[in-house]
């Protein structure tokens, strides 16, 4: 797997198939990026589980914190690691010891550990590094366009404004027909003409 660039269909497939997400490093502080990502994904219908030993006894938007992945006590589809790169390998090793390993390990923006990714992939787990599921969901659904961000999609219809628990379609087509690389080439060709 080339972890420098992901095909939209790979990301789309993950976001469409996972239902439960354990966010390692989630914070109850409402100005932290992990708080925003956690709340956003919960509002899109994902079953979110905050994992942070420093906040056990507290909750995040009504979801109680657990101290470790093993403390969850049930299978999860995806582990979203909101920690820096030096903390990724221990989280992956803990995930591999679970009775039912996750389908996906996702490392947030700025987080990358190729050795941990190789270990997870060898166990049959899909891996995404240096990406944010909140941003990818917003981009693929074109919801991010509501905030004025170029989602690289062409459509005569705006993405709907989601309601609580509503999952948006992630099948909107990008400029190049679905793959980010194609839309990047289209944008490059346009700049070369000017």
Please choose, from the candidates 20, 85, 11, the residue with its C-alpha nearest in 3D space to the C-alpha of residue 51: 20
3-state SS class at 58: strand
Q: Is the confidence at residue 177, as pLDDT, over 80?
A: no
Read off the pLDDT of each residue in 23-41 and give the average, rounded to a whole number: 95
The model's pLDDT over 44-71, given as tens digits with 9 standing for 90+, comes to: 999 999 999 999 999 999 999 999 999 9
Q: Is the confidence at residue 179, as pLDDT, over 50?
A: no
pLDDT, residue 49, reads 98
Read off the pLDDT of each residue in 183-188 and give the average, rounded to a whole number: 53
Q: Is the confidence at residue 166, as pLDDT, over 80?
A: no
E strand segments, the chain:
20-24, 47-51, 59-60, 63-64, 78-81, 104-107, 126-128
Q: Is the confidence at residue 165, as pLDDT, over 80?
A: no
Angle at 135 between CA 81 and CA 185, to 5 degrees: 115
Alpha carbon 70 to its chain's center: 21
Name the CA dihedral angle for 102, 144, 34, 125, rounded to a multiple of 10 degrees.
20
* Cβ neighbours of 41 (radius 10 Å): 21
pLDDT, residue 175, reads 45
In the chain, where are the structural domains located? Answer: 8-133, 136-186
Name the CA dihedral angle for 122, 98, 15, 88, rounded to a multiple of 10 degrees.
-70
Q: Is the confidence at residue 6, as pLDDT, over 60?
A: yes
**11 backbone dihedrals φ, ψ, rounded to 5°:** -65, -45
- CB-based contacts of 123, cutoff 8 Å, min separation 6: 96, 101
Q: Are 106 and 78 in contact (CB under 8 A)?
A: yes
Q: Is the confidence at residue 159, as pLDDT, over 60?
A: no
* Cβ neighbours of 169 (radius 10 Å): 12
Alpha carbon 56 to its chain's center: 23
CATH number, domain 8-133: 3.40.50.720
Q: Is the confidence at residue 193, as pLDDT, over 90?
A: no
pLDDT, residue 189, reads 58
The model's pLDDT over 132-157, given as tens digits with 9 standing for 90+, comes to: 999 999 888 877 665 555 555 545 55
State the pairing for strand pair 47-51/20-24: parallel
**164 backbone dihedrals φ, ψ, rounded to 5°:** -50, 125
Q: Is the confidence at residue 96, as pLDDT, over 50?
A: yes
């Amino acid at each position: 797997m080339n972890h420098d660039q992901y095909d939209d269909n790979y990301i789309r497939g993950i976001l469409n198939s996972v239902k439960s997400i354990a966010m390692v490093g989630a914070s109850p502080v409402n100005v932290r990026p992990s708080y925003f990502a956690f709340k956003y994904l919960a509002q899109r219908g994902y079953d979110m589980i905050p994992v942070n030993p420093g906040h056990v006894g507290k909750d995040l938007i009504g979801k109680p914190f657990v101290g470790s992945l093993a403390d969850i006590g049930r299978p999860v589809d995806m582990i979203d690691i909101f920690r820096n790169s030096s903390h990724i390998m221990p989280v992956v090793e803990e995930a591999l010891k679970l009775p039912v390993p996750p389908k996906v390990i996702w490392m947030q923006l700025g987080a990358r550990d190729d050795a941990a990714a190789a270990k997870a992939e060898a166990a049959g787990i899909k891996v995404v590094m240096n990406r944010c599921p909140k941003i990818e969901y917003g981009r693929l659904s074109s919801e991010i366009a509501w905030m004025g961000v170029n989602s690289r999609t062409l459509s005569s219809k705006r993405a709907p404004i989601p309601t609580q628990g509503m999952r948006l379609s992630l099948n909107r087509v990008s400029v190049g027909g679905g793959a980010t690389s194609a839309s990047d080439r289209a944008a490059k060709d346009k700049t070369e003409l000017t």
